[in-house]
Chains A and B, each alone.
Chain A
Amino acid sequence: MNKEEKVAYLKGKAIEMRKTALTMIHTAQSGHPGGSLSAADYMTALYFSELNIKAEEPKWPDRDRFVLSKGHVCPILYSALALKEYFPYETIYTLRKEGSILQGHPDMKVCPGVDISTGSLGQGLSTAVGMAIAAKRDKKDYRVFCVVGDGESQEGQIWEAVMSAVKYKLDNLVIFVDNNNLQNDNTCDVVMPTGDLRKKFDAFGCEAYGIDGHKMEEIVDVLDEIRTKKNGIPKVIVGKTVKGRGVSFMENVVMWHGVAPDKEQFAQAISEVEGGLK
């Protein structure tokens, strides 16, 4: 597959990813659509092109690890796992239901493909650091990918984890920052400005890249660039994103952080998503 074909393929998958996430949140009438949609494009690129994983062997020891530090956007992770056939697709209709493997926040004990349970913000990156240290010590080639939110970066532990990633020269760690500038109560700028995150990660000793987190070409390019860069420096991709991206009435609207669409909203959202990103 050449780059053009790959990008076209991933754009198609991103539509399926968005539809699946919205469907499960609508069915559950609970969940977090805004951040699921802002993370949709690079999650698609990771799961359908980058991660070295085997759905038929979720615990394959040499697999790449994925840590969703902003655990509340798990519908987009569950979408990837459903589409990759880690579990039957129909499972998506059980999100947040009693006994479901699709808990409100990821539970590694019950959901195949979830490498660590997350949900309390600021903690996932530390676990990713632990995994990346284990890979280095065991002389294994697998990489660890971790998605953190910009609002989540207000947690001090994120910076503790970054310091340790730099100290232990974790060039097998890739941190995605979903830089959508919205959080639960308001915009990040109002609640607690996170400033220029790319500069901050750079200042901590990481190699940070800034991209448009919805341009599949840019996502593919940056992943290509860092894949073979074994220079002892952790990589950070700060993706400028739009919360609710792909659904006009959700885009950049704080309310859609954690509210499920009703029947009419859901129908409109699906029809808009089917058209792909404009």
Chain B
Amino acid sequence: MQINKLQVEAIKSGTVIDHIPANIGFKLLSLFRFTETEKRITIGLNLPSKKLEKKDIIKIENTFLSDDQINQLAIYAPHATVNYINEYNLVGKVFPTLPKKINRILICPNSNCVSNHNFITSSFIFKKDKFHNINLKCQYCEKEFSKNIVLSYQ
């Protein structure tokens, strides 16, 4: 399987996160601290996509994400695919699934939550309400917020 058809430079070995909704790619880079590395990173923004019309793409050389990291992507990019590349060949493909818990990357919308006032990281668990909407419950202040409220609170 060749992935040279992708419109950004192919990588020899590493991870390609594909099908990221347009405009989210940049956010993922900083939220997941992908840039805090010496590894070579390529990012493509607003690329054409059959699935999404427009998409972003991130390639990180010689790096493989942990299952936890992959699943945490699901909250921002539910349709993302994570491709593992070796010698320019696709050797694995993973689809993120929502994790039970999400640490560090979100901010609690409750301004009086202790997680916003101390040098600690946030921690949320996922919950579904009776309409099957996804909610996030802060592990500190125990408040539950709809996913969109938490995501727009960055």
Asked if A and B bind, the verdict is no
Chain B residues in the interface with A (C-beta under 8 A): none
